[in-house]
Every structure is written in C-alpha cells, then in structure tokens.
Amino acid sequence: MQLQLTSPLDMHLHLRQGEMLKNITPLSSKTFSGALIMPNTVPPITTKEMVKNYRDEIVEAAKDGTFTPYMTLFFSNSYNYEFLQSIKDDILAIKLYPAGITTNSEGGVNSFDIETLKETLEAMSQLQIPLCIHGESDGFVMDREAEFIPIYKQLATAFPKLKIVMEHITTAASAKAVLEHDNLYATITLHHLYITLDDVAGGMLQPHLFCKPIAKRPEDRAALIDLALNANPKVMFGSDSAPHPKSAKEAPGCAAGVFTAPIALQALAQLFEQHGKLENLQAFVSDNAQKIYNITPPKKSILLEKKEFIVPDSYGEIVPFLAGKSLQWSIQ
C-alpha cells in the first residue's frame, strides 16, 4: 500500500540556532514543503532584521528549494501599526507566550488585560496577521490549558477579525472551544495524538515525552484524535517538534520538548490507517493549513509506503519520539 501526500506542512516547528539548526533543518525540509518557525530563540525574534537573518539561516541549512520557512515574530504589546505594516510581508504570524510558561519565553506577556494588548491586536487584525498562542495559565499543571480557555474566548470575541490559533491543544475542553468561535483555529501535535500522562509518568519517568503542555487524560487524547483524524477544517498539523540534546533531557531539570519532525509523517500515516482515516491525512497535514493561513506552499510530493521503519535511537545528540520503535509506514 502507498499514500501520496502533496506539500505536507508543519505549522508549529522549533528549529533552534547554530549547529543544532544546521543539523535538524534538513530533517524537516526533506519531507515538508513548509513550516511555521517558532521565534523562541535566544534572544527571541523581535525585529525585521532578526526575521530576515533567521530565515536566511534556515533556507541555507534546508538545502532544498521546495521548503518554505514561514516566519513568526515573538509577540510584544509594544508593536504598533506602523511597525507591523513594515514587517507584514516577512512574517506569516505572531506567536504569543505567557511570560515564563515554557522554553525561552521569559520575555512573554505578563497580562492578558485587553486594554494593554489592544493597540497591537487591533493592528494585527487590520493587517490580517494571525496570532498564535501558547495557551497556558500559571496554575496547576494539569489545569493550565483549561484555565486559559476564557482568555482565548475573550480575545476571539474582542477581535472578531483576528485569526487566533490555539497552539498544540491537549484537552477535550480546547477541542470543544475551537469550534465555538469562527476566528479560532488550532494545531495538534503528533505526540498528543499518541500519548497520555500515563506514558510520561505512569511508569518509569520518560524524559523524552516531557513537554509543555504536558500530555493529559485518555478522554482528552480521544477528543484530539476525533478532530485530527476527521480533518476538521479548524485544525491542522503542527508538530511542536522541539529538540533538546540528550544531556538536557536525561538530566535533573529535564527540558520540555518532544522531537518528532523526522518521523511525523510515518507515525501519522500509521495512526490514520489504524483508524481507517488515511484519506483524511492530506487535509490534516496540508490542505487545512493552506486555507487557514491562505498560503500556497511549494509543490512537493511525498510517497509513503506500508513498509517497516525502525525509528533511529538518535539523530545526532537528539533522541526522537518513538526511538527504537517499529512503525509500519516509511517514506520512499
């Protein structure tokens, strides 16, 4: 059995910097025709010059003319209309992090008071720049995403023309909320379709499955599977592939992030096939995102084949999701 995918897109990707960027970018550019690149570098991407330099670095590392890095800016409520207009053509979206909620997010937002965000969000709305949000409160870890839903709703209501993407949703509550506002959309990762908190911490602690937001309950995973495998047009694939060296994962103070980029399409094909939904994979990994973001990525054909693929134990110093496991789909 074979499955042809056209122009797969990863609408939430961390490519890091320096040597790490050089090593991991080809692992995405080989199989994806584009990706939305997260701006939580050190320091975060906040100027036009930084966007351009970062994009150049990625294009150079990709060594593949059929890969488009769609760039993002790290949200600040100091961005005004004039600045956003000047940078609009260089970015696809702006990513908002609550301050300190995850890796390199210290410069994020401290207050979700609409008044303090209004000038920037109004300008984004007028310029049609989508807002991507890491939606977690600073509450109890299992409740953080659910506690953030009222903020999503408030923003969606206050800025009805602003497209808001709920990044890497992990709960049934978010799966419901995304359907309740016309201007809310969501990304779903591979790992949140596969695992629950039990896989992370139910037995021996699994550092390579530790990420933010943390995987939740079986019923939450079921709600995500329902949206993704039916390719609901409000959701799209965003891997949140977030590499950290093994030394930072297998350590006290384990870094958050799951590295899925090189195995994502194979593992998605397996999951969609198991559920008898293989015909929906194209929409989930490309068509939905093209419509939501209004983009036309470079044409790229990827042929998946039903043939065993043993996930490598590591890619350099990074341990991937499902390391050493056997998948039933490989890329030709």
Active site residues: 240
In whole angstroms, the minimum distance from the beta carbon of 208 to ligand DOR comes to 11
Contacting residue, 23, 76, 102, 290, with ligand DOR by CB under 6 A: 102
Counting residues that bind ligand DOR (by CB under 6 A) gives: 10
Residue 145 as a binder of Zn ion (CB under 5 A): the answer is no
324, 331 contact by CB (below 8 A): no
Distance in angstroms (rounded) separating the CA atoms of residues 80 and 61:
32
Distance in angstroms (rounded) separating the CA atoms of residues 90 and 110:
26
Contacting residue, 212, 221, 249, 300, with ligand DOR by CB under 6 A: 212
Taking the least distance from each CB to Zn ion, the nearer of 120 and 189 is 189
Residue 240 as a binder of Zn ion (CB under 5 A): the answer is yes
Contacting residue, 66, 103, 206, 230, with ligand DOR by CB under 6 A: 103
Residue 136 as a binder of Zn ion (CB under 5 A): the answer is no
Query: Which is it for strands 34-37 and 131-133: parallel, antiparallel or unpaired?
Result: unpaired
Residue-wise DSSP of 263-328 = GHHHHHHHHHHHTT-GGGHHIIIIIHHHHHHT--PPP-EEEEEEEEEEPPS-BTTBPPTTTT-EEE
Site for ligand DOR in 253-292 (CB under 6 A): 256-257
In whole angstroms, the minimum distance from the beta carbon of 243 to ligand DOR comes to 8
Q: Which spans in the chain are helix H? A: 18-29, 48-62, 81-87, 114-127, 144-158, 172-177, 191-194, 197-201, 218-229, 246-249, 264-274, 281-282, 288-293
Contacts of 132 (CB under 8 A, 6+ apart): 12, 36, 72, 93, 94, 95, 96, 164, 165, 167
Taking the least distance from each CB to ligand DOR, the nearer of 96 and 311 is 96
In whole angstroms, the minimum distance from the beta carbon of 303 to Zn ion comes to 28
Taking the least distance from each CB to ligand DOR, the nearer of 245 and 305 is 245
Residue 44 as a binder of ligand DOR (CB under 6 A): the answer is no
Contacting residue, 13, 24, 155, 211, with ligand DOR by CB under 6 A: 211
Residue 242 as a binder of ligand DOR (CB under 6 A): the answer is yes
In whole angstroms, the minimum distance from the beta carbon of 326 to Zn ion comes to 27
Distance in angstroms (rounded) separating the CA atoms of residues 171 and 263:
23
Distance in angstroms (rounded) separating the CA atoms of residues 147 and 130:
22
Taking the least distance from each CB to ligand DOR, the nearer of 190 and 211 is 211
- From the list Zn ion, ligand DOR, none, pick the one residue 211 interacts with, judged by a Cβ distance below 5 to 8 Å according to partner type: ligand DOR
Taking the least distance from each CB to ligand DOR, the nearer of 99 and 303 is 99
264, 241 contact by CB (below 8 A): yes
Q: Which conformational region is residue 316 in: left (phi greater than 0), alpha (psi within -120 to 50 degrees), or beta?
A: left
Residue with tokens 């008898």: 276
In whole angstroms, the minimum distance from the beta carbon of 10 to Zn ion comes to 11
Give me the helix-helix angle, 144-158 and 114-127, nearest 10°.
Answer: 60
Taking the least distance from each CB to Zn ion, the nearer of 236 and 304 is 236
Counting residues that bind Zn ion (by CB under 5 A) gives: 1
Q: Which residues bind Zn ion (CB under 5 A)?
A: 240
Q: Which residues bind ligand DOR (CB under 6 A)?
A: 14, 40, 102-103, 134, 211-212, 242, 256-257
